[in-house]
Structure 1
Amino acid sequence: MAMGRGEATRERILAITEAAVLAKGFGATSIEEVIAEAGITKSGFFYHFRDKNELARALLQRYMERDDVLLDEVFARGRELAADPLNGFLVGLKLLAETMADLPGGHPGCLVATYCYQERLFDRGVRELNQHIVFHWRTRFRTLLEEIVDHTAMQEPVDLDALADMVSTVIEGGLVLGRATGDPDILPTQIMLLRDYIRLLFEPAPLAVH
């Protein structure tokens, strides 16, 4: 379904702003430069966004929705390809790593991390939404891990909230390290190492041969 003109303009503003924020930060991104690149008037911009904090909230919401679509797809596909929750999760992580590796020039970066480093620029609503996204990721991954625990015993006791946070930490940390080093292979490599850890955490150790 094609977007209407107003919706298309709003999406263009968000795309331009996101690219600028990931490249140089929110504080260094001005409404004027966004207006100029979008080819709209200042009143046209303020028709869509009352101020920069409203723009920041819209960027975060858009970022979370895109992440949800991607993660829903890869982990649903993993379950389709595997007979049990553990292998489904492992396949999902492999598909996620492959998706990140196939992005031209690597993933552009993480808005959540960018906002955390510049949180003084934002109002309470933006900060709370940023926190909500982190807890949303925790819930998502904990739900998948609980399904695994229901079918497969852990070899070592690990708190599921902490393990769910570890999944987010590896993904977001991989984005930061990849950005800092200019190496797009860091993120998919880290995801695959996480995959190995989770496999070892649940799979029984092989019996020693005497």
Structure 2
Amino acid sequence: MARDGKPTRDKILTESRALIYENGFAGTSVDKILEKTGITKGAFFYHFKTKNHLAKSLIEEYAREDKSHLEHGLEETKSMEDRPVERLIDFVQVFIDGMSTLEEPPSCLYASYTNETSQFDQETKDLIANSILEWRKTFIDLLKQAKINEKSKIEIDIPSLADQFVVIFEGAFIVSKALNEPDLTAKQLTHLRNYIQLLLKK
């Protein structure tokens, strides 16, 4: 009977991600991964033909997790579809609540990869870009449904405001880690929520 290699593969992915967060991709050698996981080189290359294959598998897994967070926010606010302003505010609140419970500063694989773009092929870079674009599109849709430009006293660049959501996450993750303040991201998202509420205030 063939052995199930999934636990070994999952272990490589988990430990590799932790090492990349700590050392960057270039600083995470296959030997370091082997030392961390306790597996053989043969077992590593059975699951991942090259280090770049590992890189792509890691970002695919991370992108799936990222999409599940996005879908969770949409699902949590689905009952408010007929109240788009409330849905927009509550969509942001879902992530404020999620980030408020962190005990350690968060890390982001997208940030780790984009700091070392020369290490990755275009397909891997496209996975990151497409994931971020999906967040942009979702937030643009929520802003338009709330008719933010009709209700605001100032003209809003909707795509740029949509990007602010992801920009806060990425920037706050860095500052949160530098200052060891796990709740910093939640606080920054609160500023965004308050800003949107002010824009929509009659």
TM-score normalised by length of structure 1: 0.85
Say whether the 8 Å CA contact 1:138–1:164 is kept in structure 2.
yes
Say whether the 8 Å CA contact 1:101–1:188 is kept in structure 2.
yes
1:27 aligns with 2:26: yes
1:9-158 to 2 correspondences below 5 Å: 9-80=8-79, 84-107=83-106, 109-149=107-147, 153-158=151-156
Aligned-partner Cα distance in 2 for 1:100–1:54: 31
Q: Which runs of 5+ in 2 are unaligned?
A: none
Residue by residue, what CA displacement relative to the aligned partner does 1:119-150 show, whole Å, maximum 9, x if unpaired? 12222222232222222221222222222228
Greater relative contact order: 1 or 2 (C-alpha under 8 angstroms, separation 6 or more)?
2
Say whether the 8 Å CA contact 1:86–1:152 is kept in structure 2.
no
Cα offset for 1:5?
A: 3.0
Aligned-partner Cα distance in 1 for 2:149–2:80: 17
Secondary structure of 1:5's aligned partner: coil
Aligned-partner Cα distance in 1 for 2:111–2:153: 32
Say whether the 8 Å CA contact 1:98–1:188 is kept in structure 2.
yes
Q: Which runs of 5+ in 1 are unaligned?
A: 205-210
Aligned-partner Cα distance in 1 for 2:151–2:76: 23
Secondary structure of 2:44's aligned partner: helix
Say whether the 8 Å CA contact 2:15–2:36 is kept in structure 1.
yes
Aligned-partner Cα distance in 2 for 1:120–1:169: 22
Say whether the 8 Å CA contact 2:81–2:87 is kept in structure 1.
yes
Structure 1: 4+ residue segments shifted above 4 A = none
Cα offset for 1:29?
A: 0.8
TM-score normalised by length of structure 2: 0.89
RMSD, matched Cα: 2.2
Say whether the 8 Å CA contact 2:148–2:199 is kept in structure 1.
no
Aligned length: 200
